Amino acid sequence: MEDDMAQDAEKLGTILSAASVVPVIIHDDVATARNLAEALVAGGLVNIEVTLRTPNALKVIEEMAKVDGAVVGSGTVRKKDDMKASADAGCQFMVSPGAPVKLLEDAEDIGVPLLPGIASPTEAMAASLLGYTYLKFFPAEAMGGAAVLKAFASPLPDIKFCPTGGIDMEKAKAYLKLPNVVCVGGSWTVPAEAIAAKDFDTIRTLAADAAKLSA
């Protein structure tokens, strides 16, 4: 199997390396979707992951995708229908919490690159055998944190990771020092209380602080 059949690694690598932090968002308010995306992009976080965990998530993605400079992806992608809907909504990347073989194979039919989640060397190797170069390490902190990814680097030198799960500003620094980490995913830049209060200035400030972190 050719590498580029499964995952357009060059395209996904360009997207993931554009900013060190990918905000992971659970958002259902279509009316404020653009405000949220504009605040994140203004702060320097151009890659935005909107999880498919709310009824209006796809509409939120469509709105955010209209914002200049925003590169919007879908999260919590678990089946082919999720991937089709993501592509239709204008996603430029997709993120899954896991990496079942069927999902990885189904992704070959979708013209949007998938970042599948793994938690072990075996899962990482299985995805690599199917042509996946970029993987999400999830749930990062619960699975042992930066120390685990540091241990992955030597036996799996050709795989790059985006750790997500339980990461905050301070923990992000440890991950981003690792040679096999391209970026980190986190929700600390989009606190629920700030979104509820429509406090987009705070979100822009948090995004700007996160954007200063470098891989």
**Residue 1 vs residues 4, 5, 147: alpha-carbon distances, Å:** 9, 7, 32
Confirm if 191 and 1 have CB atoms less than 8 A apart.
Answer: no
Strands 71-75 and 47-51: parallel
Contact present, 64 and 40 (Cβ < 8 Å): no
The strand pairing partners of 119, in sequence order, are none
**Which one is catalytic: 38, 62, 63, 136?**
136
Structure tokens at 190: 């989009």
Secondary structure (H, E, C), 138-199: CCCCCCCCHHHHHHHCCCCCCCEEEEECCCCHHHHHHHHCCCCECCEEECCCCCHHHHHCCC
Bridge partners (DSSP) listed for residue 115 = 95
The angle subtended at Cα 34 by Cα 57 and Cα 190, nearest 5°, is 70
Specify whether 49 is catalytic. yes
Is residue 59 flagged as an active site residue?
A: no
> 38, 49, 62, 63: which is the annotated catalytic residue?
49
Which residues belong to the active site? 49, 136
